[in-house]
Structure 1
Amino acid sequence: MTDTIRLRLEISYDGAAFAGWAVQPGQRTVAGVLAEALHRILGDPGAETPLGLTVAGRTDAGVHATGQVCHIDLPAGRYAELAGSLLRRLGGLMPGDARVKAIIPVPDTFDARFSATFRRYEYRVCDDPWGPDPLRRHDTLGWPRPLDLDRLNAAAIGLLGEHDFAAYCKRKEHATTIRAINKLDWRRDPDRTLVATVQADAFCQAMVRSLVGAMIAVGEGRRGPEWPATLLTLRERSNQVTVAGAHGLTLVAVGYPAADEYASRADATRRLRA
């Protein structure tokens, strides 16, 4: 068996022109363009994916990332040949809307998905009457009515902690919808943009955008601050919640424990998800 080395890749992308992270036949995806660039460098252009390509969070179509993480396994000898040039070569082959920012050798116990301790997202909303700044239109949702920051934060409080978020998720067969949110708040930046920060151990599909949609209903006064939390009693997706647009959402960070805890964290996550 060929000796391999595991590499942690840190990635940013503008999700506007991607059909999400995961490889899909006939679709332009982040994993697809990354795989194509890697195989061109490795001299294996016919392969569909690089060895062991595993991502921390499979972002949906239109969602962006500044702090995405994935790992790959490369033959150790081939990596030794490429180590000094791999990052630069990827910079020359990747499209302008996706960048590999760092490549770090890690122990083979590191798992980009299961070793992660948290994922942190930000959602940007502009409620100015003239709409988002033209240079931020691809990562900021324009909202036509004023939003109250205090009401948004009051709505967020009831969603903190571990709950069954079935009302806010696209349920998958044999998968749990129980998640633990340890950070959820809103701020208004100097440019007046409202930014929601949401951090949890993991997220279900469309969960963050559904939470944002529910909190916006509170922020504009259509619902009371306690309403988003009342939906946590439901065991099916709620048709009362509007899912906020994908383009306002960005994965900004993924957290990991110390290197000697990679394996134990991955084992614990696998048991939890089962």
Structure 2
Amino acid sequence: MSTRLRLDVAYDGTDFSGWAAQPQRRTVAGELRAVLERLFGGVEGLTVAGRTDAGVHATGQVCHVDVPTERWESIGGALVRKLAQLLPPDVRVRAVTEAPAEFDARFSALSRRYEYRVADAPYGAEPLRRRDTVAWPRPLDVGLLNAAAAGLVGEHDFAAFCRRKEHATTIRAVSALHWRRDPDGVVVASVTADAFCWSMVRSLVGAQLVVGDGRRPPSWPASLLSRTIRADEVMVAPAHGLTLVEVLYPADVSALRERAELTRRRRDAAG
């Protein structure tokens, strides 16, 4: 028998080639699976909510995995501590909970939220935050950034902002996108959507930054939504400024199943 577990994961993406396992490359999934297999003797279906790219961080990543029930019952209460002892210091499993079989970290998710940090101070990013904060060489106007963001909220075809994958849709529903300046002076973008296509968040940020520093009008990013292919003039912002901070799921089991089935149908139809 097997038991499905939900893992809440955080990592510093600097030294990883992204989440997904790749031959001869250090990845978050590779490190995590190796330790889980050491503890359980074998695991199945390690599935993640958002497959982050190389250099992208996470404080609120979620994945699920199926493990032998007998072994889970014997070590479950100590699993978080055991993982902390065995995983490298740039990956932490913050919580482990038993999940219903209907829970799918990828397809059951209602939304994902990312944040992107930009320092526009003349001296750049603070040394202790250099791994998760991009230094921008020009002053940024938060009002202009939010004016640009407003036109990107809603369900659109974001083809201009995505690196296209064969048989994959670029239609996404962005439910929230806004900028703020934190007390430390760093400008932070927060963006929430049902899902994101490849490089979408970093491309959205790149398009808005050139508005925030005055080089493009606020209407420019939204004007690109009419494109059916990627806009070459849109800069893909550096990976290290981006962090996956939250993934939300339905509260009850029946809704988990329904959400997963709905998401799969949408993906299949798009393909």
| Shorter-chain TM-score tier | over 0.9
Q: Superposed, which structure 2 residues align to 1:251-270 within 5 Å?
A: 251-260=244-253, 261-270=255-264
Q: Superposed, which structure 2 residues align to 1:15-34 within 5 Å?
A: 15-34=13-32
Q: Superposed, which structure 2 residues align to 1:17-166 within 5 Å?
A: 17-43=15-41, 50-166=43-159
Secondary structure class of the residue paired with 2:19: coil
**For residue 185 of structure 1, what is the aligned residue in structure 2?**
178
Residues 21-67 of structure 1 deviation map (CA, whole Å, 9 limit, x = unaligned):
000000000000001111111245xxxxx311000000000000000
Structure 2 segments unaligned to the other structure (5+ residues) = none
TM-score normalized by the length of structure 2: 0.97
Secondary structure class of the residue paired with 2:218: coil
Decide whether the 8 Å contact of 2:57 with 2:242 is kept in 1: yes
Residues 161-206 of structure 1 deviation map (CA, whole Å, 9 limit, x = unaligned):
0000000001111110000000000000001100000000000010
Decide whether the 8 Å contact of 2:11 with 2:91 is kept in 1: yes
What is the CA–CA distance in structure 1 between the aligned matches of 2:245 and 2:41, rounded to whole Å? 32
CA-based RMSD of the aligned residues comes to 0.7
Secondary structure class of the residue paired with 2:44: coil
Decide whether the 8 Å contact of 2:61 with 2:246 is kept in 1: yes
Q: CA deviation at 1:271?
A: 1.0
Secondary structure class of the residue paired with 1:223: coil
**For residue 218 of structure 1, what is the aligned residue in structure 2?**
211
What is the CA–CA distance in structure 2 between the aligned matches of 1:265 and 1:99, rounded to whole Å? 28
Q: 2:221 aligns with which of 225, 228, 238?
A: 228
What is the CA–CA distance in structure 1 between the aligned matches of 2:41 and 2:206, rounded to whole Å? 45
Q: CA deviation at 1:77?
A: 1.1
Q: 2:11 aligns with which of 13, 30, 34?
A: 13
What is the CA–CA distance in structure 1 between the aligned matches of 2:232 and 2:51, rounded to whole Å? 24
Q: Which amino acid aligns with 1:57?
A: G
What is the CA–CA distance in structure 2 between the aligned matches of 1:189 and 1:229, rounded to whole Å? 25
What is the CA–CA distance in structure 2 between the aligned matches of 1:121 and 1:169, rounded to whole Å? 16
Q: Are 1:238 and 2:231 matched, yes or no? A: yes
Q: Are 1:272 and 2:254 matched, yes or no? A: no
Structure 1 segments unaligned to the other structure (5+ residues) = 45-49
Q: CA deviation at 1:273?
A: 1.6
Q: CA deviation at 1:259?
A: 2.3
Decide whether the 8 Å contact of 1:55 with 1:113 is kept in 2: yes
Q: CA deviation at 1:103?
A: 0.3
Q: Which amino acid aligns with 2:181?
A: R
**For residue 47 of structure 1, what is the aligned residue in structure 2?**
none
Runs of at least 4 residues off by over 4 Å: none
